[in-house]
Amino acid sequence: MKALSTLLALLLSGNGCFAERVIFTGFDLSGTAWRGEGNPYDNGLKEVLSTVEGGDHVYGAVINERGLANGAPVIDFGIRPYSFWSDKRNEYEPAVQTKLKMQREALNNVLKSSTPSKKTEIIGFLHSAAQILNGYPAKTVKQIVIWTDGLQEGDEVDLARIVITDQQISKIIETERGAGRLPKLNGVAIWFVTSPSVESTQFTTSKLLRLEAFWRKYLQACGADLKAFSPVLVNFGGHMAMGSDAPSLRRSKSPPFNKGATMHIWPEEMELLRLNSAGDSLTLKDTFNGSIITGEKGCGKTSGSAAHLHACFLAIGAGGFVFCPKRTDARDYGRLFTRWSRDGDVITMRPAHEWTEEPINSINILEAEQKLFGHGNASATNVTTLLMKVSDLVQRQSGPGATKEAFWREYARTINHAGLTGQSEVSNKFDLKLLLKFVNELPNSLAETEDNSLYSVALMREAKAKLGDSAPYDFMLAYNFVMREWPLSPPNARSSGALTVQVMLSSLLSHPLRQLLFEKTTFDLDRVLNHGGILLLDMNVDDYPQAGIAGMILKDIISRAAQVRPQLGSVEPQFVQPVYLLVDEYPEYAIDADEKHARMARSARPRPDLHLPVNFIAQGSVSRQGKSAELARSCRIALGAPERVI
């Protein structure tokens, strides 16, 4: 019973911020439209409510002389989408119908306690609707249905006292526009239903036609689309395509989801995969723990077990990052995306064949670092850490050498940090080409620290002059390193440290990494983190030696970005979108920092409902590693036989 109560509480607690469609209804209580007896609007409201689906939010307000001053709507409720995983149809449907019935009763109660108003502030009602509708995202379907005779009677606009000519209509609209009183209704579809309002009054055909002419021109000036001005509700089939008379596809209430569907609630106990007939299953909570799948070459790691797991995340509407280390991966994953109607969510990143060409989608990861983790400021420490991870991957792929030693690695880190610190103080942005120039033009003697033709010397002096006598300690460390420590270091130490950084930067600045990761940004990473986007890196390791570096950088950025999403601390966990990482040929992308993410993530947040991305290291069967780490509601699927298992 407790589980059932929780389920119904979630169902019946409408949450407008997640609505896919918002309907705002209005009921004319003026004396020209309503005699003060009964509820002539019940059948119309029932017809509107019959179109309501999971993900909709409905408002209802009375229309009287008070207009905008009426305050909160008398009807305000939402229905969350049906969950195939956690809901039961025989409980969900009755709960929905009960809630819809309650709204009709609410309107009845309001009418019983109301008296006919002396005026009709329809424009005030539209302002009230606009204030609420504009609080929803632009992609939300927004609709207004008004039961009224259309006779606006207010202080500024009183259609009952004028002859409604075309000239008068134009004059009213221009006056209202000049006074800033036109409600903002861009993209809103509106229906005027004149019956039963006009049935109790003496409206002529001519009067109704002139009222319709007024509202069509007035609403057009407000950016709205008057779908109908008629005695019955017509062409109102539910989810209408914006700017089109054709209804969009109805959202499926259970997987596989139709294109455009959104799963808004992801409870931890959601069953993703039934493992056997004994009832063992993989839940969403399980996927936030470390998992391993292993098997020999050709045993179906990618096409078997991983495909089943991947389909689970596609079905629930999760965002994701998918690696394509093999030439055929993009094609094979494409079939899975199509099967689960997720084609429209895919953001393909593919390098150009020639350095003169543009890649298919790209992201400037230095700008992403600044936006996501630096609060708009260029953080030399963050970017230095990222560059050292790249250095680790380059070193691991090329075999052991001098930079494997802690001393040389720290020396390379200091060089990077000094150059980036200078850039951040001078321009508040980073440029890897200038960082390479910085390394190539470091002073090799104290005498050369007086040579302003050396880029490193000029940069540090410009930054110091900008900061003045109050230069922060971190900057002075970088300044002293360039102007004194580096020139006095042994030549062998200087050459080894510089070579480490030069090799790493040359790798990043070569084609195609430069165009893919360090120039333009063509998409918003927020699509992946919060809006069901799936980033597909189509960069196979056979044709592109730098594919491992690209994958590692993006894997690291997305993993960390998932952890700093603001909604993690502001909404309940079930409303935070999961993000999965599917990493085929995992050894190509593994770095030491992966282990640190898993080990340190437990203390990232005190709440046990935030979890670490899982590592599925794929094969023929699923086996779960019991190690749990708390991090960001994301899931990592790694395929292959890695050198280390996290």
Cα distances (Å, whole numbers) of residue 562 to 487, 566, 613: 42, 9, 10
What pLDDT, in 10s, does the model give residues 451-503? 999 999 999 999 999 998 888 998 999 999 999 999 999 888 888 888 888 88
Least confident residue range of 16-25, 42-51, 453-462: 16-25
| pLDDT for position 128 | 94
DSSP 216-231: HHHHHHTT-EEEEEES
Task: Return the beta strands (E) in 300-437 as ranges.
Answer: 319-324, 346-349
What pLDDT, in 10s, does the model give residues 426-452? 988 888 899 999 999 999 999 999 999
Least confident residue range of 353-367, 368-382, 516-530: 368-382
DSSP 118-129: SSB-HHHHHHHH
Using CB atoms within 10 A of its CB, is residue 195 exposed (0-12), middle (13-18) or buried (19+)? middle
Given a contact cutoff of 8 angstroms between Cβ atoms, the answer to whether 229 and 271 are in contact is no
The residue with greater pLDDT, 592 or 409, is: 409
Distance CA 194, CA 492 (A): 89
Other CB atoms within 10 Å distance of the CB of residue 234: 12
- For the chain, the structural domain boundaries read 2-230, 271-361+522-639, 366-513
Given a contact cutoff of 8 angstroms between Cβ atoms, the answer to whether 147 and 27 are in contact is yes
What pLDDT, in 10s, does the model give residues 357-369? 788 999 988 888 8
Q: Which range in 367-381, 485-499, 615-629 is most confidently predicted, on average pLDDT? A: 485-499
Given a contact cutoff of 8 angstroms between Cβ atoms, the answer to whether 364 and 353 are in contact is no
Average pLDDT of span 243-272: 46
Q: Could you tell me the two tokens for 116?
A: 């006919």
Distance CA 205, CA 231 (A): 12
Cα distances (Å, whole numbers) of residue 168 to 257, 388, 477: 50, 71, 74
Q: What angle do CA 332, 334, 338 make, to 5 degrees?
A: 125
pLDDT class for 405, splitting at 50, 70, 90? low
Q: What angle do CA 238, 242, 246 make, to 5 degrees?
A: 60
pLDDT class for 127, splitting at 50, 70, 90? very high
What pLDDT, in 10s, does the model give residues 150-184? 999 998 999 988 999 999 999 999 999 999 999 99
Residue 275 confidence (pLDDT) above 80? no
| pLDDT for position 403 | 42
What pLDDT, in 10s, does the model give residues 557-614? 888 888 888 888 777 788 888 888 888 777 777 766 666 554 433 333 222 233 333 3
Distance CA 542, CA 325 (A): 8
Least confident residue range of 291-295, 376-380, 582-586: 291-295
Distance CA 152, CA 191 (A): 16
Separation of first and last alpha carbons in the chain? 39
| Cis preceding linkage at 267, omega within 30 | no
What size, in residues, is the chain?
Answer: 646
Supply the DSSP symbol for 586.
G
| pLDDT for position 195 | 73
Cα Rg, the chain, nearest whole Å? 31
Residue 10 confidence (pLDDT) above 60? no
Instruction: Identify the CA nearest to 203 among candidates 132, 149, 245, 255.
Output: 149
For domain 2-230, is the CATH number 1.25.40? Answer: no
